[in-house]
Amino acid sequence: MSEEYERETYRLACALGWASLGLGIVQLAAPGAVSRLSGVDDSAWARTGVRLVGVRELMHAAVLLGSRRPAPWVWTRVAGDAMDLTVLGRAMAKRTGWRRARVMAAMAAVAGITATDLYTATRANRHGPRTQIMGPMDLRAAITVNRPRQEVYRYWHDFENLPRFMAHLESVETIAGGYSHWTAKGPARKSIEWDAEIVEDIPDELIAWRSTEGAAVRNSGSVRFTDAPGGRGTEVRVEITYDPPGGKVGLAFARLLGEHPEQQVRDDLRRFKQVMETGEVARSDGTPEGPYALRQVLQRPAQPVK
């Protein structure tokens, strides 16, 4: 199988994941409108049923968008399509007039979606085993901090400072011999703990680390400190290899909640810049806990505190 064939299959599966995300949001946000368009708004269970289908679509989106090999998961959409066609078929048999016409139109739309799902799923089955499954993630981010390189290095090297700007960290305890103990928030806010060791330390230039054997969260990476051009401070470049807790499903739901690991790293660096330049993370009445990814969904313009 050609690489182009694999890429095309991957793109199709991701497109279906985004379609599921859009459908799920609409069905949860406007169940009444969806039930009217489908011709089933005369049923007492219509809105509840639409909401349940919306939740299912979001689950499809989470799996498809969170997997490095999403195409085989399209079969979950095919199964959902079969359920929808069965429910709509029964609804059509009980209705007449314009309601029946709308149910038929909804069935035609679902049938078209089913054909696309089947096409994508069967493409994956032909050569699926050759597609690489999800492995560790490589994350990269950089930022310029308007402080001297030595000062920036010293602050980061004191690992107990990291929870001040890394929102997912609860604590870091320094242990003798270049080791440290980390406690972080995992999926569903469950705490995860692991030990790490410094593998390379060049004063004012580089800190490299890796988790110890048997760590709950396997990770390694480095932070490089270089002088920014024009005397603008320090460039901080972070590279991390990371196994997301909860696997690909946990990562997918994290993406939907706005807490993808790459986004976390970028947000952490922005907070680090604020701490180094102003001494604190900027907060407002609208975001009292700072620019934490999940809470940005609920963000509103700042207002005077009453």
Rounded (5°) CA angle 141-146-149: 80
Q: What is the pLDDT averaged over residues 193-211?
A: 94
Give me the pLDDT at residue 248, please.
Answer: 55
The token pair that represents 76 in the structure block: 């979950």
pLDDT exceeds 50 at position 137: yes
Q: Is 1 helix (H, G, I), strand (E, B) or coil?
A: coil
Q: What is the pLDDT averaged over residues 36-57?
A: 90
Q: For the chain, what is the mean pLDDT?
A: 82
β-pair partners for 225: 236
Q: How many angstroms separate the CA atoms of 169 and 183, rounded?
A: 6
Q: What is the CATH class of 137-298?
A: alpha beta
pLDDT exceeds 70 at position 149: yes
Radius of gyration from C-alpha coordinates of the chain: 25
Q: How many angstroms separate the CA atoms of 92 and 84, rounded?
A: 12
- How far apart, in Å, are the Cα atoms of 246 and each of 123, 182, 224, 250, 254? 28, 18, 29, 4, 10
pLDDT exceeds 70 at position 293: no
Q: What is the pLDDT averaged over residues 116-136?
A: 64
pLDDT exceeds 80 at position 269: yes
Q: What is the pLDDT averaged over residues 24-32?
A: 92
β-pair partners for 222: 208, 239
Structure confidence by residue, pLDDT tens digits, 178-197? 899 999 876 556 788 899 99
Exposure string (b/e) for 85-119, b if CB count within 10 Å is 16 or more? Answer: bebbeebbeebeeebeebbbebbeebeebbebbee
- How far apart, in Å, are the Cα atoms of 124 and each of 119, 149, 224, 247? 9, 50, 41, 21
Q: How many angstroms separate the CA atoms of 250 and 220, rounded?
A: 20
Tell me whether residue 306 is exposed, middle or buried, using C-beta atoms within 10 angstroms of its C-beta: 0 to 12, 13 to 18, 19 or more.
Answer: exposed
Give me the pLDDT at residue 207, please.
Answer: 96
Give me the pLDDT at residue 284, please.
Answer: 54
Query: Is the distance from CB of 89 to CB of 107 less than 8 angstroms?
Result: yes
Structure confidence by residue, pLDDT tens digits, 208-247? 999 998 887 788 999 999 999 999 999 999 998 877 655 5
The token pair that represents 139 in the structure block: 């994350």
The token pair that represents 256 in the structure block: 């939907």
pLDDT exceeds 90 at position 257: no
pLDDT exceeds 60 at position 88: yes
Residue 100, C-beta contacts closer than 8 angstroms, at least 6 positions apart: 39, 92
Q: What is the pLDDT averaged over residues 155-162?
A: 94
Residue span(s) of the chain under CATH 3.30.530.20 come to 137-298
Exposure string (b/e) for 5-22, b if CB count within 10 Å is 16 or more? Answer: ebeebbebbeebbebbbe
Give me the pLDDT at residue 179, please.
Answer: 93
Tell me which amino acid residue 192 is: I
Tell me whether residue 249 is exposed, middle or buried, using C-beta atoms within 10 angstroms of its C-beta: 0 to 12, 13 to 18, 19 or more.
Answer: middle
pLDDT exceeds 70 at position 10: yes
Give me the pLDDT at residue 157, please.
Answer: 94
Give me the pLDDT at residue 8, please.
Answer: 83
Give me the pLDDT at residue 139, please.
Answer: 84
Give me the pLDDT at residue 224, please.
Answer: 96
Tell me which amino acid residue 13 is: A
